[in-house]
Amino acid sequence: MRVVLARNRRGVQDIVRVIMGDDSIVVKSVWTQLDYANPAGHSVQLDVLAEDGKGERYNIEIQRDGRGASPLRARYNFAAIDWNKTNKGTEYEDLPRTWVIFITEDPSYTNGGPIAFAERYFRDGRKFEDRQTVCYVYAGYVGDGLLGKLMADFRETDPDKMYFRNLVVRVKRVKESGMEKMSDILGAMLEKVRKQSLERGLERGVEKERARTVSILLTTHSPDSLLNDPQFSPLGYTQADIDAALALQK
């Protein structure tokens, strides 16, 4: 399904409209398999990220395993989206509403129902207005309404039996192009490239952070002391570190 949604703005729009129950939503931009590298910690990959005409964001995660739909995963996704999709100088009050939508085969998150929304509240019952909402959709839901038809389309492999035209067209194109047969191979290749890119990003991030640390130390210590003083020996600073830090100060 990720292949079907790649560069499929109308297909993603159909999904968002059905889940949100709002036919007025107009999706303007869609990104799939979006990598956010974090040099200082855990990186994240988003299945689908969409933005509508109002600037609201929808992160759609298709998770067979319930562990991939953990509330803690949602917490991390929200943070990654805010850090990477917010322009410098944006005021807190201008942060857009963001939705993390998990389509999962684990029915426990929806308490046996088709869909469930999770938001934060004060203990006295007032809503905590952080503009963040988690939505769980049970992928195994069967029903006659649009949500039931959408989940049936997610499970269906025969495009002639699917309901949503914008998904049908893309599924047929995928099948006709042979992409479906190659999806496992391509997926493995892309995952390898992604990991290599993240590793390179992490290396660059560590080098940059090391240069910043040395730059700060140089405000109170000489280059010679960083290289030769026993107290800095465990850190293993080199002349290359000194040169990189001096370059940052220029």
Tens digit of each residue's pLDDT (9 = 90 or more) over 159-193: 899 999 999 988 888 777 665 444 444 455 445 55
The three-state secondary structure class of 123 is coil
The whole-number pLDDT of residue 2 equals 67
**93 contacts 57 by C-beta, under 8 angstroms:** no
pLDDT at 183: 45
pLDDT at residue 139, rounded to an integer: 92
Exposure pattern of 204-239 as b/e (b: 16+ CB <10 Å)? eeeeeebbeebbebbeeeebeebeeeeeeeeeebee
pLDDT at residue 194 greater than cutoff 70: no
Average pLDDT of the segment spanning 114-128: 97
- Residue pair 148/142 in contact by the 8 Å Cβ criterion: yes
Pairing mode of beta strands 27-36, 57-63 = unpaired
Average pLDDT, integer, range 98-112: 93
Can you tell me the mean pLDDT for 216-245? 77
22 falls in which pLDDT band (50, 70, 90)? very high
Q: What is the pLDDT of residue 186?
A: 44
pLDDT of res. 98: 97
pLDDT of residue 15 exceeding 50:
yes
pLDDT score at 145: 95
Does position 202 have pLDDT exceeding 80, yes or no?
A: no
The predicted structure's pLDDT at residue 5: 87
Residues 6+ apart with CB under 8 A from 174: 3, 4, 180
> What's the pLDDT band for 113 if we cut at 50, 70, 90?
very high
pLDDT at 61: 93
Q: Which residues have a Cβ under 8 Å from the Cβ of 242 and sit 6 or more positions away?
A: 214, 218, 223, 226, 227
pTM of the model: 0.69
Phi then psi dihedrals of residue 216, to 5 deg: -65, -45
